[in-house]
Amino acid sequence: MESERLRLREFTPADLDLLVELDSDPEVMRFLTGKATPRGEIADVVLPGMLRVYGEHPGLGTFAAEEKSGGAFVGWFGLQPTADPGTVDVGYRLNRAAWGKGYATEGTRMLIDYAFGELQVERVVADTMAVNHRSRAVMRRSGLRFARLWHEHFEDPLPGTEFGEVEYAIDRRTWEAGRRA
């Protein structure tokens, strides 16, 4: 899958180092776990989990994003199944060198178009911590709209957890209207 500047592809077992490096930046992980993900966890849990989704849910999963010009790895975009078969969850994680270029919005729009246009879903959602303003801005720029705020209990909460979690969403009718505009 391609957009103007990005190419998405499936991850393979050979991508372990790319994922370890991405998750080793505490700024990237700030609103996720707050710390680097151990290499062993990526090798034994994260990457095998990603590979499994490709087989179990054709068209869905976590996809490596590369710059079309030069091929540099910039991070990943994902479409994950949810409890509702007509709804998919979009997400993204980019390395810091790739922030501030519009890549996150470009990739998210590409996956939303793919979800409605190819996968024929009815709704795309995205969620993050309420205090993750950069991520919320990506959601807004991608056409998702604020849907709800809720509070979760964590044993070891990240700073800002007290402000809650937010969900943004777009339904098929709104997506179609945006394409006609």
45, 74 Cβ separation under 8 angstroms = no
Q: 115-174: which residues touch ligand COA (CB under 6 A)?
A: 128, 132, 134-135, 138, 141
Distances (CA, A) of 141 to 49, 102, 132: 29, 10, 15
- State the amino acid at position 72 in one-letter form: A
Distances (CA, A) of 49 to 15, 53, 150: 13, 7, 27
Residue 104 near ligand COA by CB under 6 A: yes
Minimum separation from the CB atom of position 110 to ligand COA (A):
12
Residue 179 near ligand COA by CB under 6 A: no
Treating both helix axes as pointing N-terminal to C-terminal, what angle do 103-117 and 133-141 enclose, rounded to 10 degrees? 50
Annotate each residue in 80-99 with x if it binds ligand COA (CB under 6 A) or - if it does not, as one string.
Answer: -----------xxxx----x
Place of tokens 């994950």: 80
Minimum separation from the CB atom of position 54 to ligand COA (A):
21
Q: With H, G, I as helix, E, B as strand and everything else as coil, classify residue 32.
A: coil
Minimum separation from the CB atom of position 96 to ligand COA (A):
8
Residue in the shown chain whose Cβ atom is closest to ligand COA: 102
Which residues contact ligand COA (rule: CB under 6 A)? 28, 31, 91-94, 99-105, 128, 132, 134-135, 138, 141
